[in-house]
Amino acid sequence: MSLFDKCEAFTLARDFRAKGIYPYFHYLESRQDTEVIMEGKRRIMLGSNNYLGLTVHPEVQEAAVGAAKEYGTGCSGSRFLNGTLKMHLELEEALAKYIGKEACMTFSTGFQSNLGIISAITGRNDYILCDRENHASIYDACRLSFATLVRYKHNDMEDLEKHLKEIPEGAGKLIVTDGVFSMSGEICNLPEIVRLAKKYDAATMVDDAHGFGVLGRGGRGTADHFGLTDEVDVIMGTFSKSLASLGGYMVASEKIIDFTRHNSRPFIFSASIPPAQCAAAAAALSVIEREPERVERLRDLGAYMREGLKKRGIKIKEAETPIVPIYTYEMEDTLIINKMLYEKGVFVNPVLPPATPPGECLLRTSLMATHTEALLDEAMDIIKEVMDSYAR
């Protein structure tokens, strides 16, 4: 068998293109905002993770431009060597202080953050207990770590405890979970995870990529939402969502951070975050600190969207976040409805297996604090029109 036989045998994308329902790689011709120009037409953007709308905030834009002019376009090296700028250290200090942990370190992307954290703090003789619906980067990180991966049923604390009981006494154990699950918008059962971690002498890690800026006081995240920041050992997050930039971070105790800095291969052997991205994230954090009402506005809009869809007879997956998934069930139905919405000017994201179980496909809508009720009403009316039309 040739190495590239698998490429020839992969026909799914070609089949969807032939049917005219391929949903990926639509290109933007405008900035990331509540309304965009995509492939020559206005679309209402309900498919972005720009939760607080800060990618177009003048202060954030000006910070990025200013940093590029002052420091250039890149650092040309890893943080270990020539790639640390003073602004990297200032951003880390500000994030640690805001979230409520001793120390912070940053990574070049959110995906790389999980790779770098988990592969550094776990090893061959350790066990990682992983929610089945955790992000793909967590699963890849588990493989990189060489630890034993144990998957527990989604948000099922009885199943988690069953697996904890089976792990040899004295073995290193890490329970890792998304704070907010990116496809469903569900929040993890962090109080019970923390209780079980204490009972079975396990460490805890929360991937808060979709929790920071969304949950907790002033958007401090999932652990703060439950009042458990001091009880969670490691919190990871990204800059590409609420912080309107690119990169990722880890907050933890100073000793955990110092160990990870010196043992994380994805951190040690990668170039550092470019000046513009670092400055944009720092400016976005300043806006969040100064304007906590953005987080409240986002929560209100999430409730407005859920109520509006239900009033229009649209079946949704219930959650408490700005991620509002709509049930479409079968894969081809989902892609056809997605295309119809796109053509009528609403951009959403189709969620297909393996991101959902077969027969439970979704259209994932996600909100920004800068959406207006009028714009959401326009989008929801189009969604209802399309869903009713397709049902007939």
The set of catalytic residues is 182, 210, 241
3-state secondary structure of 391: helix
Q: Are 345 and 44 in contact (CB under 8 A)?
A: yes
Encoded tokens for 180: 């907010």
d(CA 322, CA 197): 29
206-220 residues labelled b (16+ CB within 10 A) or e (exposed): bbbbbbbbbbbebbb
- Collect all residues with Cβ–Cβ distance below 8 Å to 39 and sequence separation of at least 6: 26, 27, 29
In eight-state DSSP terms, residue 359 is T
Q: Running DSSP on this structure, what letter comes out for residue 188? A: P
Q: Which two tokens stand for residue 317?
A: 């997956």
Closest of 195, 225, 227, 193 to residue 208, by C-alpha? 225
Those residues whose C-beta lies under 8 Å from the C-beta of residue 103, and which sit 6 or more positions away, are 92, 96, 251, 252, 253, 254, 256, 257, 258
- Of 211, 176, 210, 172, the closest CA to residue 193 belongs to 176
In the chain, beta strands by DSSP E: 35-38, 41-45, 103-107, 126-131, 148-152, 172-178, 203-207, 234-238, 248-252, 323-329, 346-347, 349-351, 361-366
Q: Report the distance separating Cα 341 and Cα 140, nearest Å.
A: 33
What is the rounded CA–CA span in Å between residue 310 and residue 302?
12
Nearest to 182 by CA among 49, 274, 345: 49
State the residue for tokens 């793909």: 136
Residue 280 CA: distances (Å) to CA of 36, 68, 161, 227, 313: 21, 10, 41, 28, 40
